[in-house]
Every structure is written in C-alpha cells, then in structure tokens.
Amino acid sequence: MSGILYLQIDDNILIRQPHICLQDIARLSCSEPEILHRVRVIPVTTLDPVKPGRYVMSVMDLVDLIQKKEPELKIVPIGQPDFILTYDTGKQPNPLWRFLKVTVVCLISFFGGAFSIMTFNNDVDIGTLFSQIYTQVTGHVSSGFTILEFSYSVGLGVGILFFFNHFGKKKLTCDPTPMQVQMRLYEDNVNTAIREDAGRSHTRHDQ
C-alpha cells in the first residue's frame, strides 16, 4: 500500500529532549492513517544530553530515513531544504545572574539613548533654536525653561512610546513592535548564517 506523505518543517525548531523522532520536528500529513502512525515514530537522531546548541540537518536525510521504512511512499517536503535544531536542556540560569544581566542591559540602553539624544541636540544646537523662536514669538528673552523645552521633553518621551508600541507589558496596538521586527530579522539572519556555514563545512569535507 502506497500513499503521499507531506512533510513540513520550520526553519528553526526548539527541542528539549535528546532523543528525537520525526513527529518531534515535523508536521506530517498522509491519506493513509496506518502509514502516518508508523512514520511519526521513526527515530531521527540522538543528541548529547549535556550539550545544548544548534544543529543543522537536511530534509533529504529525513527523506532517506522514511524511504528505508516505507519504500513505496511518495514524500513531498514543504519548506527549507535545510533546518536547524535548537537543543535547550531547559535548565534555568541563576536568578541573580539573570537579574544582573537585565539590569546592565537596561542601564546601557538608558544612558546610551540619553547620550544619543543629547549629542543630537548639541549638533543641531536646539537650545539656541528654541531661544530664538521664543524671543521672536513673545518678545522676551528665553530663560531656557520655557513651554518649548517642556513640550519638547514630554513629546520626545511620548513619541518614543508610540514608536516602540510598548509600555511595560501592554501594547498600544496589535501590530508587532519595531523591536520585535528587528529581532525576527536578526533571527532570520542567524539561521541563514548557520545553514550556510554548515553547507560550507560539508563542501570542504567532501573535497
């Protein structure tokens, strides 16, 4: 009895156990339930239990494994030809160490952002600009603490909140924040780099 097996695999798959079967890393669909049950439990690989990391695999390796068990089965892979297994043992880091890392990152982001804003204001000499505008409009000399400076300071903070679409655990809209978009782009670039490095390593070994 033969059938068609559709094999869909994500670019990067998080796993938490070293013994991996096909159903742990792939979405499977087949018109023959008996074949589907047999294929789901096909062993794929066994990782080092104490060595978390990222491992690159090829869909063709999975196709070979399946065809050895089901020679007459037609396999239709969907997605990338190579994929990454991210093995995480689930071990939580020291809470104190994580708190220190978060604190340091927050301080660097805060003071780095403040420094960037101050250097921009100095470059365009915004203090002199506000003073001139205030003098021209009101006819009085600016003290440096006028409605212009106050509005600019408040508007800068509010603008940042609206731009990042995030305040604490609440989002202003359902759209992803710019930070989330950048993190997704970063993850895509990392996955691409890992796959390409693995492909180059295989090429050097073959030569």
Give the model confidence (pLDDT) of 11-70 as tens digits.
889 988 889 999 999 999 988 888 899 999 999 989 888 888 888 888 999 999 999 988
- Domain boundaries defined on the chain: 4-87, 165-207
DSSP conformation letters of 138-203: HSS---S-SHHHHHHHHHHHHHHHHHHT-BTTB-SSSSPPHHHHHHHHHHHHHHHHHHHHHHHHHH
The C-alpha R_g of the chain, in whole angstroms, comes to 28
Confidence of residue 107 (pLDDT cuts 50, 70, 90): very high
Confidence of residue 205 (pLDDT cuts 50, 70, 90): low
For residue 104, pLDDT beyond 90: yes
Count of residues making up the chain: 207
pLDDT tens profile 85-100: 998 887 777 888 888 9
Task: Identify whether the C-beta of residue 23 lies closer than 8 Å to the C-beta of residue 40.
Answer: yes
Look at residue 50 in the predicted model and tell me its pLDDT: 82
For residue 175, pLDDT beyond 80: no
- Which is more confidently placed, 140 or 93? 140
CATH number of 4-87: 2.60.480.10
Among 3-12, 29-38, 135-144, whose mean pLDDT is lowest?
135-144
Look at residue 120 in the predicted model and tell me its pLDDT: 85
Look at residue 103 in the predicted model and tell me its pLDDT: 92
Look at residue 142 in the predicted model and tell me its pLDDT: 78
